[in-house]
Amino acid sequence: MSIEFTPTEMMTIAAARALTNDDVCFVGIGAPSAACNVARLTHAPDITLIYESGTIGTKPDVLPLSIGDGELCDTALCTVSVPEMFRYWLQGGRITTGFLGGAQIDRFANLNTTVVGNYDKPKVRLPGGGGAPEIASNCGQIYITMALNKRGFVDHLDFITSMGHGEGGDHRARLGMKTKGPTRVITDMCMFEPDPVTKELTVVSIHRGVTRAMIEDNCGWPVRFATEPVETPIPTETEISVLRDINARTKKAHEAA
């Protein structure tokens, strides 16, 4: 029997598959949180999830609304202060993977969560960076998950909140950064990885039912494709069931709050 799934479910599950039992993962709220918890509840039960509020080894039963959600602290192995989290754990190089989203991204995986338009008189004032700039700089590698559309995937960022690969090439290294930066961008249509030399995002995997033309039409820059992009494996019954269960529990909990 064919499994039916939405593009958002495909994106979340594809992102979850990138994680392993050995990861110590700094988790962003929203789509990254969903992906990380699906990984924890399926193939990576021993993954260590860390949220910005200082919760270590948390195992939420419902997805948090924010980093201050009590569900995170209630289910964590321990909770440390925010200064300790950033100085000792993050800046100390103890976190293997950061999982982020953003309002906008460019071809070198730089993220904008600050403003759209002129900084002093922007068209849109966004939530800001929070801890994302530090996560992008100090985690061993970064995964990014965002829906693919021209509003979010833009040719030029008005503001770089979180450093990806900067201007491309060895820009991170020239700035003294020793971490890999973004190694994968997972969308609802495809997956990108940076070119090994130029660091420009390149489509390496295309989700079922999506064409190259659809990807090109929804991206704000001329898209590069790998020589032979693979088809993303479709979700399994277990993956879909786990994702839908946690989403249903989350909706019920938040409606009752």
Residue 67's pLDDT band (boundaries 50, 70, 90)? confident
> Quick check: 52 pLDDT over 80?
yes
Question: Is residue 2 domain-resident?
Answer: no
Question: Is residue 24 domain-resident?
Answer: yes
Q: pLDDT digits over 90-125, tens only?
A: 999 999 999 998 999 999 999 999 999 999 999 999
- For the entire predicted model, the pTM comes to 0.94
Catalytic status, residue 52: yes
Residue 41: per-residue pLDDT: 97
Write phi, then psi, for 209 (nearest 5 degrees): 85, 0
Give Rg (Cα) of the chain.
18
Q: What is the mean pLDDT of residues 40-46?
A: 97
DSSP 86: I
Number of domains in the chain: 1
> Quick check: 253 pLDDT over 90?
no
Q: Which residues pair with 105 in a beta bridge?
A: 111, 153
- Per annotation, catalytic residue among 4, 9, 52, 200: 52
> Quick check: 2 pLDDT over 80?
no
CA distance 248 to 252: 6
Residues 44 and 28 sit within 8 Å (Cβ to Cβ)? no
User: Which one-letter amino acid corresponds to residue 37?
Assistant: N
Measure CA 162 to chain center. Answer: 12
Residue 250: per-residue pLDDT: 92
Helix ranges (H only) for the chain are: 7-17, 31-41, 70-74, 82-84, 132-138, 171-174, 212-217, 237-256
Residue 1: per-residue pLDDT: 53
Question: Is residue 211 domain-resident?
Answer: yes
> Quick check: 24 pLDDT over 90?
yes
CA distance 95 to 63: 21
Residue 3: per-residue pLDDT: 80
CA distance 215 to 201: 13
Q: Among the listed ranges 3-12, 18-27, 46-55, 61-70, which one has the minimum average pLDDT value?
A: 61-70
Question: Is residue 110 domain-resident?
Answer: yes
Question: Is residue 195 domain-resident?
Answer: yes
CATH assignment at residue 225: 3.40.1080.10
Domain boundaries, position 192: 7-256
Residue 257: per-residue pLDDT: 60
With pLDDT > 70 as the criterion, what percentage of the chain qualifies?
99
Residues 144 and 110 sit within 8 Å (Cβ to Cβ)? no
Q: Which of 30, 197, 35 is nearest to 113 (CA)?
A: 30
Q: Output the average pLDDT for the chain.
A: 94
Q: pLDDT digits over 123-174, tens only?
A: 999 988 888 999 999 999 999 999 999 999 999 999 999 999 999 999 999 9
Q: What three-state secondary structure class fits 253? A: helix
Question: Is residue 1 domain-resident?
Answer: no
CA distance 67 to 31: 13
Write phi, then psi, for 205 (nearest 5 degrees): -150, 135
